[in-house]
Structures are given as C-alpha cells and as structure tokens.
Structure 1
Amino acid sequence: MAFAEKYLFVPEPVEIGGRHIKRYHVTSDRAGIEPEVERAADALLPELLPAPDGTPAASFVVLHRGGDTGAYLNVYSWAWDNVLHFAGAAAGQPALDCPDTDPTRFVRLTGTARDRSWIGCVWELAPLEHERTAWIRHMLAPDTPDLPGYLADSLRTGTTATGSGGVMPG
C-alpha cells in the first residue's frame, strides 16, 4: 500500500458556546473540503464538545474528507487541565454505521454495533503532536496560562507531514 501525504488547510479558529476551537481540514483535493461538508460538520460540532470543567475552554478539530464518500470529524478538547477529550463523527461511510453515502449526514461514533474506539488515522493525527506541544508551551509551562497565544499557535496550511507546512509536489 503506497502512502501519500494529504493537503492540510487551517481555517481561522471559531468560538462555539464559549469554547475556542482551532480547525484543521485534511483532504487529497487541492481545492479543500466542500463547503457543504464543512457546514454539516460545523452543525454537529456543539454536540461533540464536553461540558466545561474549569480548564480553559479550548478544542481543536480535524475534518477529514476521505478518498471515497466518507467524511470524518474528530473533536479533541482540553479537559482536566492536561487531558485530551475525544469525540468523533462520520458521514458517508456505511462501514462506520452511517445511514448512507452522503458526506454531509454526520452521525456520532458512539454506540455503534462494533467497538470503534479510534482517535484518528495517520493523516488526522498530524495536528496532535503540534497541539500537545502548543498546549504545554502556552498553557502549562508559563506561570500564567496564555489562551490567546495557544489559539494563535497552529500548524500552517500545507500538507499533513507533521510540522513541515510544505506543499505536496505535483
């Protein structure tokens, strides 16, 4: 099986229900993720966010448009000061108990017939290393946590090659 990096797009962070959310989009399409898929994922996002627990309300999401009909939404939220909470959803992927192949009809990945305690594929995991380091650098290491600094510290648009920010050839 040949491996190829995918494109990584980094839209501006958003705020939903008082939670600051950094966003990453992963796709093999140079044009990015279709707007209707992004809108559908954004509509489900509030349901995937944990309740506040005193930790600065920050999350990051990875929206991945697969090479087939699938779309995947991984939501990682900081909790308990230094723990990463995960919630996921998928659309257009019947193998994950989605009702059809519509990439805009997201369903939460809990209570499926099969255990799918997955946190992401190799392309979706690219932002995890960066986000861990950024959380430590801006929120845990300083005497005073710097939430604006954390929110401004994202991978660059480029590819999923961790930290490269480079553009895929071709």
Structure 2
Amino acid sequence: MHPGRMQPTSHSPRPVTHYGVEMLGTWPTKLYGLAVEGEPDPVLLHAARMFAEATLPADSQGRAAFVIAHRARPANFLLIYWWSSDVDLSLAYFRSPLDQPTAITPMPAFATGCVWELALAENERVAWVRHLLTGEPDLEAYLNEAPPGEVR
C-alpha cells in the first residue's frame, strides 16, 4: 500500500427500511432507516422527525424532503435532505453517539455522507429526475417510489 493511503475497510450491503411518507411541517418527507444490522433505534427515528421539522425551511413550495436515520458502527447519523429548487438538493447532516441517540450535533462543514447514505440519496435523485423533471411533473409518483431493499 502506498504511504498515506487509507487502509481498506470491509464493505457489505446495508438494508434500507422505509417508514413511509410523513408531513414534517409543510414538507412531504420520506423517512428511511439504515443500520449495520437491524433497524435504527426508535429514539433516533423520533429525533430525526423532530430535527427535520426544526431544520426544513418554513415553506416547501410544492417540493419534498427525505430523511435518513443511520445506525452505523462509529455513531448514529441523521441526514435531512430537501429539494430547495427544481434541481438543487440541500443537506443538513448530524451525528450522535450510539448510546445517546438524542445527543445530536452537526457534522463538520463539507461532510456529505458515507457510501451507503449517498447510495440512497442517488436513488432519490434518479426518482426526482424521473418524476419531476421528465414529462409531466408528478410529486405523488416521486413520493410513492419505493426505495431499494438495500444499498451497497
């Protein structure tokens, strides 16, 4: 291995749990869970809903959001994404200790997500393009699009 390069880590698929679409403020929001094994702690999911409501702009202007609650190996992660325009996706990214899921703090500036979180965000990007930017815009079809069963 070249000096200064990272050591490879093990990589395996992670299951995606879809908790449905909920109205968080004015935002129709898809809520997802990722976990090394099982599902995220229900306390983390509750915190995800609360943080999303507090973070999302006041007016959705007919757009949508999606939230990922991820129980990973080093910590819990919470990603709040919203379509801030027809083509722009915004992100608020947080973390908490595994044993304190509500002790949520912001991630460092410029953090964008891990490979599993980004795979789920890519799925949402593809669905957004298919349902909102091609042909007749159909927000309901986007909201009803099922996620993959797992991400790699």
In structure 1, the residue matched to 2:22 is 14
What stretches of structure 1 of length at least 5 have no aligned partner? 94-100, 110-114, 162-170
Amino acid paired to 1:104 = T
In structure 2, the residue matched to 1:96 is none
In structure 1, the residue matched to 2:100 is 102
5 Å matches for 1:81-160?
81-92=86-97, 102-109=100-107, 115-143=108-136, 145-156=137-148, 158-160=149-151
Please provide the CA RMSD for this pair: 1.8
Quote how far apart the aligned CAs of 1:154 are.
2.7
Does residue 1:64 correspond to 2:62, yes or no?
no
Amino acid paired to 1:50 = P
In structure 2, the residue matched to 1:76 is 81
TM-score by length of 2: 0.85
Quote how far apart the aligned CAs of 1:53 are.
6.5
In structure 2, the residue matched to 1:23 is 31
Report the secondary structure of 2:51's partner residue: helix
Contact 2:27 2:60 (C-alpha < 8 Å) held by counterparts? no
Q: Structure 1 vs Structure 2: percent identity of aligned residues? A: 30
Contact 1:19 1:59 (C-alpha < 8 Å) held by counterparts? yes
Contact 1:44 1:106 (C-alpha < 8 Å) held by counterparts? no
Amino acid paired to 1:83 = D
Task: State the aligned residue count.
Answer: 144
Supply the distance in 2 between the matched residues of 1:33 and 1:13 (Cα, whole angstroms).
17
Contact 1:77 1:86 (C-alpha < 8 Å) held by counterparts? yes
CA offsets per residue over residues 2-57 of structure 1, 9 Å max, x none?
Answer: 21222211111111111010122110122x11111211222211122134374x23
Quote how far apart the aligned CAs of 1:108 are.
3.3
TM-score by length of 1: 0.76
Report the secondary structure of 1:2's partner residue: coil
Report the secondary structure of 1:72's partner residue: strand
Supply the distance in 2 between the matched residues of 1:45 and 1:59 (Cα, whole angstroms).
9
Contact 1:8 1:26 (C-alpha < 8 Å) held by counterparts? yes
Runs ≥4 in structure 1, deviation > 2 angstroms?
50-54
Report the secondary structure of 1:118's partner residue: coil
What stretches of structure 2 of length at least 5 have no aligned partner? 1-8
Greater share of strand = 2
